[in-house]
Amino acid sequence: MKEEAPPLIVGAGPVGLGAALYLAQAKIETRVIEVAEKPVQESRALAVNPRTLEILESNGITEKMLELGLPIRGVRFSQRGHKPREILFEGNVHHKYPFILGLSQATTERLLAKALEEAGGKIERGVELIGCRNEAGTVWLN
């Protein structure tokens, strides 16, 4: 009889953590591996889109993000010799969250990882998927 392994999530970035969190909250166990030994500290994404805020509402992450982040309600462009131009999101972005939320990806990942742990999941750090091969009904991992 074949051994059934839990779903494998490769990478503890926002997408992997978000998927693992949804599954953990639905009582579906996963295995999350992450090649990096430590969470990232450097700046990557610095703003969260309205749709992401909507998606993460149901697992309680959005509320925490809103507490920590800074709503960016518009953008101003300026070029020497020209009048500055502004785009305001409010009134133009027809959404429950008519702004983008200034919040570093490192903070988003920290919130998701904490919620995942609270839901019973864990991240195996320092573990890399080197290769995988599909066969009928089976995936072989290295």
Residues that bind ligand FAD (CB under 6 A): 10-16, 33-36, 44-47, 49, 105, 128-129
**Nearest to ligand FAD of 45, 68 (CB atom):** 45
How far apart are CB 29 and ligand FAD at their closest, in Å?
18
How far apart are CB 92 and ligand FAD at their closest, in Å?
19
Name the 3-class secondary structure at 56.
coil
**Nearest to ligand FAD of 47, 119 (CB atom):** 47
89 CB neighbour count, 10 Å cutoff: 18
How far apart are CB 6 and ligand FAD at their closest, in Å?
16
**Nearest to ligand FAD of 56, 81 (CB atom):** 56
Instruction: Name 80's Cβ contacts closer than 8 Å, sequence gap at least 6.
Output: none
Antiparallel, parallel or unpaired: β 123-125 and 132-135? unpaired
Total H helices, total E strands in the chain: 4, 10
